[in-house]
């Protein structure tokens, strides 16, 4: 069993209180016991009588009575001793009861006090647990005293500011680099097109131009994926109400000619599934799912199905495809960046298809589940919170 700091502080505070209470109770009992001895009472009576006589102007010095063998006095002393014992026993009983009640109250107060002391720590812990790349602009309020907790909050806010700056720099770099790289790619594409459209290109020139076109197409796809990842970092500012059924229908329409050319049957089954999301990211996510499913159909006469459903307040997109069997142990690795499967029907992808799907779903509060198909292929299901 883990003992939290709050429990430890509670035990410490309660122990200190109980020690002080025990000292107070013990001291009080000792003082009462000492003040009620026969000698102390006789001395006290003598002092009171002497003071009363002094007030009357009679100066005498009284001494405590000496021990006598008077039977009546002996009986009185026994009665007095028994009364003293009863008083002390009652005092001890009441003191123990008061001590027990104080102990219960002390533990409760100590637990409450420990919670008050640790409240700033809990606030920082909650803030840290709620942080993500899209919420680094949040800061802890630091309007309290400049004590140890105040300095801790200041340091935490400073760390958030540095993290926010670092993520913004990374996002700008990915976006700027992708845009800058598109310019030379466009030039290369234009040069290859000029060669292929010329009247009599040589065989070597044609082969070279076609290879350049393939590589430019692949590089442009990679730039598009990097831009998608960069956009996903700022998705909180671009959300709107969209219907995944409409987006899926549009994407399937765009991808159907390519799938048909590859000998793959592309099927669509949708119903309304509205969500709050970035429409560009949603389109890119569904397009990646379908492109990945088409790419991994290594034989003709394959199939790809795209299904969109609204289930229990969520929107669910499921893309399944035929193809070679996928080992369950290899499914998780498909979501790693730049990790590609072993079987492809055409030019290899860049290994960012499913990682982008996972990233886009994650920034929208959704999740992705991938399972091998019973007869081969892969079934990928994306679940995103729907519109309330």
- 379: domain CATH number? 3.30.565.10
Contacts of 230 (CB under 8 A, 6+ apart): 171, 174, 175, 178
Residues 272 and 360 in one domain: yes
Check: pTM over 0.85? Answer yes or no.
Answer: no
Which pLDDT does position 9 carry in this prediction?
84
pLDDT at 288 exceeding the cut of 80:
yes
pLDDT, tens digit, 9 for 90 and up, residues 183-202: 787 888 888 888 888 877 78
Distance CA 192, CA 199 (A): 14
Residues 24 and 111 in one domain: yes
* Mean pLDDT, residues 149-156 taken together: 82
Could you say which of 198, 233, 268 is where a domain stops?
233
Residues 93 and 224 in one domain: no
CB 292 within 8 A of CB 258: no
Terminal-residue alpha carbon distance, the chain: 41
Residues 93 and 202 in one domain: no
Residues 364 and 244 in one domain: yes
Residues 190 and 245 in one domain: no
Residues 284 and 304 in one domain: yes
Q: Which residue has the higher pLDDT, 33 or 43?
A: 33
Could you say which of 84, 112, 129 is where a domain stops?
129
Residues 169 and 192 in one domain: yes
Helix residue ranges, H only, the chain: 5-35, 38-55, 71-129, 148-197, 203-232, 244-261, 279-295, 328-331, 353-363
Which pLDDT does position 315 carry in this prediction?
93
Of 373, 251, 222, give the one whose Cα is nearest residue 317: 251
Collapsing DSSP to helix, strand or coil, 266 comes out as strand
Domains of the chain: total = 3
Residues 172 and 63 in one domain: no
Residues 246 and 378 in one domain: yes
Residues 270 and 378 in one domain: yes
CB 335 within 8 A of CB 368: yes
Which pLDDT does position 294 carry in this prediction?
87
- Least confident span in 93-102, 273-282, 321-330, 337-346: 337-346
pLDDT at 164 exceeding the cut of 60:
yes
- 192: domain CATH number? 1.10.287.130
pLDDT, tens digit, 9 for 90 and up, residues 325-334: 888 888 887 7
What residues make up the domain containing 287? 239-385
For 197-201, which contacts have Cβ atoms below 8 Å and span 24 or more sequence positions?
Answer: none
Could you say which of 106, 129, 152 is where a domain stops?
129
Residues 71 and 207 in one domain: no
How many other CB atoms are found less than 10 A from the CB of residue 183? 9
Q: How far is CA 105 from the centre of its chain?
A: 34
* Mean pLDDT, residues 81-95 taken together: 80
């Amino acid at each position: 069993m883990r003992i939290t700091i709050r429990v430890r502080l509670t035990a410490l505070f309660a122990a200190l209180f109980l020690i002080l209470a025990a000292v107070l109770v013990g001291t009080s009992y000792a003082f009462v016991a000492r003040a009620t001895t026969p000698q102390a009472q006789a001395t006290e009576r003598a002092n009171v009588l002497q003071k009363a006589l002094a007030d009357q102007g009679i100066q005498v010095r009284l001494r405590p009575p000496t021990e006598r063998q008077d039977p009546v006095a002996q009986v009185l002393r026994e009665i007095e001793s028994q009364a003293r014992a009863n008083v002390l026993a009652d005092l001890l009983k009441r003191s123990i009861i008061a001590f027990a009640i104080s102990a219960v109250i002390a533990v409760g107060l100590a637990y409450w006090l420990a919670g008050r002391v640790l409240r700033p720590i809990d606030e920082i812990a909650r803030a840290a647990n709620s942080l993500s790349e899209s919420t680094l602009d949040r800061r802890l309020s630091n309007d309290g005293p400049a004590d140890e907790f105040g300095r801790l909050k200041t340091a935490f806010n400073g760390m958030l500011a540095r993290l926010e700056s670092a993520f913004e720099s990374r996002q700008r770099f990915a976006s700027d680099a992708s845009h800058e790289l598109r310019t030379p790619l466009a030039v290369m594409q234009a040069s290859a097109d000029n060669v292929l459209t010329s009247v009599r290109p040589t065989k070597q020139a044609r082969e070279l131009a076609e290879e350049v076109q393939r590589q430019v197409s692949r590089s442009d796809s990679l730039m598009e994926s990097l831009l998608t990842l960069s956009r996903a970092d700022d998705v909180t500012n671009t959300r709107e109400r969209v219907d995944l059924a409409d987006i899926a229908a549009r994407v399937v329409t765009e991808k159907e000619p390519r799938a048909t050319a590859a000998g793959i049957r592309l099927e669509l089954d949708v119903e309304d599934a509205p969500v709050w999301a970035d429409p560009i990211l949603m389109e890119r996510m569904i397009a990646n799912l379908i492109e990945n499913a088409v790419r991994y159909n290594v034989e003709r006469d394959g199939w790809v199905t795209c299904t969109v459903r609204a289930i229990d307040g969520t929107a669910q997109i499921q893309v399944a495809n035929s193809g070679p069997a996928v080992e369950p142990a290899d499914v998780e690795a498909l979501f790693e960046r730049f990790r590609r499967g072993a079987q492809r029907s055409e030019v290899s992808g860049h290994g960012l298809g499913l990682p982008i799907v996972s990233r886009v779903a994650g920034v929208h509060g959704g999740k992705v589940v991938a399972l091998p198909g019973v007869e081969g292929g892969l079934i990928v299901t994306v679940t995103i919170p729907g519109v309330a």
